[in-house]
Amino acid sequence: LGGAFGGLLGAWMTSGQFRPVSQILLELPPAEQKKLYDEAIVILRHLDWTDIAQLTALVMGNASLQQKLTAVLINYLSKELRANIQYGE
């Protein structure tokens, strides 16, 4: 999933400390990772893929999928973690 969110740089947590999204995702408890995975797989389940490299290529080649997956991530970060999302160049 990380490759699909290349344009999303990070989140500013309520504590005021900047942390990259990748770090936030790695630090999530397994139950929260599963919750986010379940939301993303709803978008990805109709695709025909056999490994992560193929899935990444499919997502990176489809702007609509990128937007949907980014929306899932932003929604999770902002609602569940109350993060303020900031974008990089």
Tell me the pLDDT tens digit for each residue of 22-62: 888 999 999 999 999 999 999 999 999 999 999 999 999 99
Least-confidence region, from 3-7, 19-23, 33-37, 76-80:
3-7
Percent of the chain with pLDDT over 90: 56
Distance between CA atoms of residues 47 and 25, nearest Å: 23
Distance between CA atoms of residues 11 and 24, nearest Å: 8
Cβ contact 4:60 at 8 Å: yes
Name the pTM for this structure: 0.72
List the domain boundaries for the chain.
Answer: 2-86
Element (H, E) at 72: helix 63-75
Strand order in the sheet with 18-20: 18-20, 10-12, 84-86
Q: Is 19 helix (H, G, I), strand (E, B) or coil?
A: strand
